[in-house]
Amino acid sequence: MSPPFDGCPALVLNADFRPLSYFPLSLWSWQETVKAVFLDRVNIISHYDRTVRSQQLTMRLPSVISLKEYVPSNRRPAFTRFNVFLRDRFTCQYCGKPFPTHELTFDHVIPRCRGGRTSWDNVVTSCSACNLAKGSRLPHQCGMHPRQAAFAPTVYELQENGRHFPPTFLHSSWRDFLIYGQETEPADLQAELVEEENGHGFPSSMTSAQYWGAELDQG
Ligand SMILES: [Zn+2]
């Protein structure tokens, strides 16, 4: 029996044939995809071996589409939980170890009680143990300095970091458009390796857009 269409999302490329985003990977449901094809907003690059039928149409399900109009990505990335972790590559900035997202926290480099702000340049990713150890002390008081100074990343920098986290499912037709790790290594093998190494368990822990995409209160 064939899997349901729900398991057949389309990889969405910008008009320059690069994915709109790497992490999370830009995917549209088959319904969104078919609608965009009808509205003539996308080109179909590749297909699944599946066909959708309705009264008006019969079409092979697209597996890769590209936007007809280029979407510029020079806007500034939103200051979200997800983007802070992505900037820091899901790695504690104090002990330098990668952690699954549920074990990561934020740390205010200059604590709030000392006037530190909740902003790109004062918040870093920290594991719970390091966060607890640091407490409300200043970096020089406890000898704990972030490995990489906090900074506001560009969309490009986040995109580059996103490439290091391949999703667990990659349709074969997507591979030509994605660069993950070494080019000689099949992308799905890379995915397994990355998952084993750092236990991120993508994507189940990442699917709550409300949680991860919520803008953080700056102040
Ligand atoms: Zn740590």
| Domain shared by 131 and 193, yes or no | no
| Domain shared by 175 and 67, yes or no | yes
Q: How close is the Cα of 188 to the center of ligand 1, in Å?
A: 29
Q: How close is the Cα of 198 to the center of ligand 1, in Å?
A: 14
What gap in Å lies between CA 58 and CA 87, rounded to an integer? Answer: 43
Predicted confidence band of residue 3 (pLDDT cuts 50, 70, 90): low
Number of domains in the chain: 2
Q: How close is the Cα of 181 to the center of ligand 1, in Å?
A: 25
| Domain shared by 66 and 98, yes or no | no
Q: What is the CA radius of gyration of the chain?
A: 20
What gap in Å lies between CA 70 and CA 64, rounded to an integer? Answer: 16
pTM (two decimals): 0.69
> Which of residues 174 and 209 earns the better pLDDT score?
174
Whether residue 172 is predicted with pLDDT greater than 80 in this model: the reply is yes
For residue 56, being part of any structural domain is answered with yes
Residue numbers of the domain that contains 121: 81-142
- Which of 109, 142, 175 is a domain's end point? 142
Q: How close is the Cα of 159 to the center of ligand 1, in Å?
A: 24
Mean confidence (pLDDT) of the chain: 82
CB–CB of 50/5 below 8 Å?
A: yes
pLDDT digits (tens, 9 = 90+) for 173-198: 888 888 665 433 444 434 433 333 33
